[in-house]
Amino acid sequence: MEFSLALLLALATVPFQPGGGQSLHVDPPEPEVAVARGTSLQVTCSLSCDEDIARVQWRGLDTDLGNVQTLPGSSILSIHGMLTDTGTRTCVGSCGTRTLQHRTMILVYAFPDQLVVSPETLAPGQDREVEVSCTAHNISGPDRLSFALLLGNQTLEGVRAQEPELEEETQEAEGLPLFRMTQRWLLPSLETPPPPALYCQVTMQLFNLTLTHKMELPASVITLWIGSLVLGLLALAFLAYRLWKRYPPSPHPDTSSCTLL
């Protein structure tokens, strides 16, 4: 009688833990954990059992038992930040006849700050567009990547984005391919004034974690843009100078117009 009362009380105070108050305690508790490549992580799972010593063990199809340290009542899973560590692990704990489970999806990602931007073709001073490109190197999970062209801290409008290109890098990581992804944009040429700061921003979305890298477009794009304006003005000035040398202004406008004719 006392026992069932205690059980009821336990159920009332901890309503989300089925089976009488005990639950697996997992740290970190999130069902999805993103780990940067090369970073170690330990996931601890424990269960306390009133009557007995709980048996707790991490499992997973690809779980190397060398990475699991099992102690009475708890189990520690060690991740060494290899891309091959990606996968779902299940912690199974039992207390008497009751069995509890907790799943943790581990995602090891590669997203180094290795952006390469390039102005590939520049057609300043013409009615052509300027193509700029941005490549994110040595990444994993290209489907989680997105690109944006920023002017200051705002997405630049009026640029034409092309379909992103995906290629495999020559270097692999732990037998898995790494990728490089390139986004190209077509900027309207000198129609608009040269932007103060143009950035390529690459975002990787990992569950609720958002990572970004930013790279400024080389100043040469901008200086060439401005440069073409300056060159144009210089050319005009030179032409004016040549004309002035050839037909120097005369104090008598009437005679000068005669000379010209």
> Is position 4 an interface residue for ligand NAG (rule: CB under 6 A)?
no
- Stretch (H or E) spanning 193: none
Across the chain, the runs of DSSP E, i.e. the strands, are 25-27, 32-36, 41-46, 55-59, 68-71, 74-79, 87-95, 98-109, 115-121, 130-139, 145-151, 154-155, 160-161, 165-173, 176-187, 198-206, 209-216
Write the secondary structure of 56-119 as one string of H (helix), E (strand) and C (coil). EEEECCCCCHHHEEEECCEEEEEECCCHHHCEEEEEEEEECCEEEEEEEEEEEECCCCCEEEEE
Token pair listed for 90: 């299940």
Q: How many CB atoms lie within 10 A of CB 125?
A: 15
Site for ligand NAG in 141-170 (CB under 6 A): 152-153, 169
Site for ligand NAG in 11-40 (CB under 6 A): 30
Among 4, 97, 171, 259, binds ligand NAG (CB under 6 A): 171
| Least distance from ligand NAG to the Cβ atom of residue 160, Å | 23
| Least distance from ligand NAG to the Cβ atom of residue 75, Å | 21
> Is position 138 an interface residue for ligand NAG (rule: CB under 6 A)?
yes
Nearer to ligand NAG, 161 or 209 (CB): 209
| Least distance from ligand NAG to the Cβ atom of residue 148, Å | 14
Nearer to ligand NAG, 105 or 226 (CB): 105
> Is position 208 an interface residue for ligand NAG (rule: CB under 6 A)?
yes
| Least distance from ligand NAG to the Cβ atom of residue 242, Å | 45
> Is position 72 an interface residue for ligand NAG (rule: CB under 6 A)?
no
Nearer to ligand NAG, 131 or 169 (CB): 169
**CA 261 – CA 253 distance, rounded (Å):** 13
Nearest to 3 by CA among 43, 51, 75, 39: 51
| Least distance from ligand NAG to the Cβ atom of residue 204, Å | 13
Nearer to ligand NAG, 50 or 113 (CB): 113
End-to-end CA distance of the chain: 123
Give the pairing type, strands 25-27 and 115-121. Answer: unpaired
Nearer to ligand NAG, 21 or 179 (CB): 179
Cα pseudo-dihedral 242, 247, 250, 254, rounded to 10 = -140
| Least distance from ligand NAG to the Cβ atom of residue 40, Å | 19
Nearer to ligand NAG, 114 or 256 (CB): 114
> Is position 196 an interface residue for ligand NAG (rule: CB under 6 A)?
no
Among 123, 209, 219, 239, binds ligand NAG (CB under 6 A): 209
**CA 182 – CA 76 distance, rounded (Å):** 40
What is the binding site for ligand NAG (CB under 6 A)?
30, 114, 116, 137-138, 152-153, 169, 171, 208-209
